[in-house]
């Protein structure tokens, strides 16, 4: 299945193509190497998403380019494909792009970073526009739900890493 948008991989460079709405949410997760390792594991293995209470089916146990993922929100199924990943000493990340049948069109990245002072952050960046009639009808409310979802990711990841701060 092809992607439903042209600028595949744009989140890697934090670009938002013209005609799309941008989302950027940054959440503090904790401090220290143990928090970074745990957050990275939860991100790369879909654990963070599953802990959110959304249905996740994936072709692999770990995020990797080309892995197909379907996010289920009740009766809504949102097919995506992992576009890029990064596993570095202070940065772990992946992004997926929308496939045919997704209510939105665009890309979303999930990035865990450990800054110089040891603080661990989750940054979610996305660009999207409605692809289905019900997403268009939702307008600003749909974007509000996306923002709330991104904030909830941070809260859930913080909970998964609780007690590991250095």
pLDDT per residue as tens digits for the range 93-125:
999 999 998 989 999 999 999 999 999 999 999
- Whichever domain contains 99, its CATH number is 3.30.530.20
pLDDT at 65 over 70: yes
Judge contact between 130 and 136, C-beta under 8 A.
Answer: yes
What is the extent of the structural domain holding 52? 21-160
38 in a domain, yes or no? yes
2 in a domain, yes or no? no
13 in a domain, yes or no? no
Mean pLDDT taken over the chain: 92
14 in a domain, yes or no? no
pLDDT at 138 over 80: no
Number of domains in the chain: 1
8 in a domain, yes or no? no
pLDDT at 161 over 70: yes
99 in a domain, yes or no? yes
Q: What is the mean pLDDT of residues 135-147?
A: 77
* pTM for this prediction: 0.94
């Amino acid at each position: 299945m092809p992607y439903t948008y042209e600028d595949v991989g744009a989140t890697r460079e934090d670009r938002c193509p013209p005609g799309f709405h941008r989302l950027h949410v940054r959440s503090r997760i904790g401090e220290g190497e143990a928090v970074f390792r745990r957050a990275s594991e939860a991100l790369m293995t879909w654990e963070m998403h599953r802990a959110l209470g959304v249905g996740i089916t994936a072709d692999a146990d770990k995020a990797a380019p080309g892995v197909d993922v379907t996010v289920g929100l009740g009766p809504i199924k949102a097919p995506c494909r992992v576009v890029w990943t990064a596993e570095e000493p202070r940065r772990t990340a992946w992004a997926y792009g929308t496939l045919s049948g997704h209510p939105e069109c665009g890309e979303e990245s999930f990035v865990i970073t450990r800054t110089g002072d040891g603080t661990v952050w989750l940054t979610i960046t996305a660009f999207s526009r409605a692809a289905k009639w019900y997403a268009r009808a939702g307008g600003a409310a749909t974007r509000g739900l996306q923002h709330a979802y991104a904030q909830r990711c941070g809260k859930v990841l913080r909970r998964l890493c609780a007690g590991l701060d250095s």
